[in-house]
Structure 1
């Protein structure tokens, strides 16, 4: 059973994310694309676990993660995965 479905065009979502003022649009778009792609294409993410639901929620609702990813890319860091875990 689904609680909510989020229909969207990928490019529309990327353009709707607020870009940090100090960052160039191209840099930010690249970072946002990569973060969204890593989250969407996690092969085992069907939303069946708390961790998957948390990462899906963040990807759609917490847009600040895109700004953080873009900042890290600007520092020549790369994104190797997306994980969610409960607080200790």
Structure 2
């Protein structure tokens, strides 16, 4: 398993569009088992654990990815994009 940093805006599983931060969020922030996350994302458990290792081994890079994502989201809001919560309210 390799973590790629070239084609997307942040580190991700090579050959996939699954970011390291997404995996970390699902496992550590949402408290889901690594094996469950692996099944949901069509990954091996080793890939999930590898992504978690990468996340914790590269704290500066991950903070920078989080900062850049926050900037992109802020710019999108300034450009008129709606949040998921706003879209959900419109559908209700």
Which category describes the TM-score, using the shorter chain as reference length?
under 0.3
Task: Give the structure-2-normalised TM-score.
Answer: 0.27
Higher strand share: 2
TM normalised by structure 1 equals: 0.28
Larger helix proportion of the pair: 2
